[in-house]
Structure 1
Amino acid sequence: MISVAAVDDDRMLLDGLTSWLAGVPHLRLVARTATVGELLAGDGPAADVVLLDLVLRDGVEPAANIRRLREAGSRVLMISTVPDHAQIVGAVAAGADGYLTKDHDLPTLVAAVEEVAAGRTAHSPELAFAWAQDSAPTRPRLAPQELAVLRHYASGLTLKATARRAGISPHTAKDYLDRVKEKYRQAGRPTHTKIDLCHRLREDGLG
């Protein structure tokens, strides 16, 4: 059973979500509020996944809302009406685990919640487009092989296992990782350890 909370100041959307999720046996809507502050003021345990509207009328920055929810122990799936790629990238950098526009159907929403609850990123066409369009100088451009090695290594594999998975030698795999670290250093985001690499992968929505 996955517990879900919804934070949105659109009452009609909240009512619609309540009706939708009532028909999904393994998802349980445990809270629905207009602000993150209201949700966190509740007495119950943190929901596994929070469906969070990107822009709320209380004026709180999306990044601040995401960080508060993550600190409370929830994973966050952003929901928005507009696929603004800058906002999407910013949300993922702040710790959001996925992004959907509100025109998706129930099976897509359920699949995204399941991915997020399992600790993965919920991919969507909007998210893929945002990453492709992101040109922020703090996000280094990684070559396909560099990215592949980074993903394997950051997933927990050893350097040798990473090399086998990528079909290259351990020496070449280390060279790719060194290049990745150097690119992040040049972007002003020093990256020294495997944990650092994991963080960068998540911050840039590359996992």
Structure 2
Amino acid sequence: GDKVRAMKEAIKADPEAHSKEDIEAEVKTLLALKAELDPPPKKGDTAELEAKIKEQGDLVRELKADPDADKDAVAAEVKKLLALKAELEPPTEKKKAEPKKKEQKKAAPAPQGKKKGKAPEPTVSPREERSVRQGKADKFRSKGANPYEYTWDVSHSTTQLQAEHEGLASGEVAEGAAVSVAGRVMAKRVFGKLAFYTLADQS
């Protein structure tokens, strides 16, 4: 040990005093002598193990602080230190993690037959819808009527209309009656080609 320290001090004063190979050889010799001098500690002797661990730890720190130390020698001493620590504190066996039981998914009931709903209404593109509306407007114009009147001539109010046709029986039609009413449509009921509107006006 003194020889190794003396060689290191000499290198600090003169870098060419000793070669790196010479120092590594002396360090290996020192480690071999220490291994022969210090037999492996017996298990159960905690105080002795702690002393060995401290001494080995100091040696490892000393080697790591030396930039010229042999890496293999440092690794060997580190393994020895870990072995001593393992004897002092044996690793506890890790409990094998039990695999989590996969929750059994309940089988979903077989899908029943789809209920027959209404057939989807045919989609009309904006261009086609505009063409249809324009055709209806042209039809009104061909009859001399303006499809977009600014005013509306009202001939009857809803109250007057109900009073004039109060005597009609259920299902009876007042043929030839032509009236003009205006108001807000409150409800609409369509039955095929027949439609009923609930109209609210000022009366």
TM superposition score category, shorter chain reference:
under 0.3
With normalisation by structure 1, the TM-score equals 0.18
Higher-Rg member (1/2): 2
With normalisation by structure 2, the TM-score equals 0.18
Structure with the larger strand share: 1
Choose between structure 1 and 2 for higher RCO, CA contacts under 8 A separated by at least 6 residues.
1
Structure with the larger helix share: 1
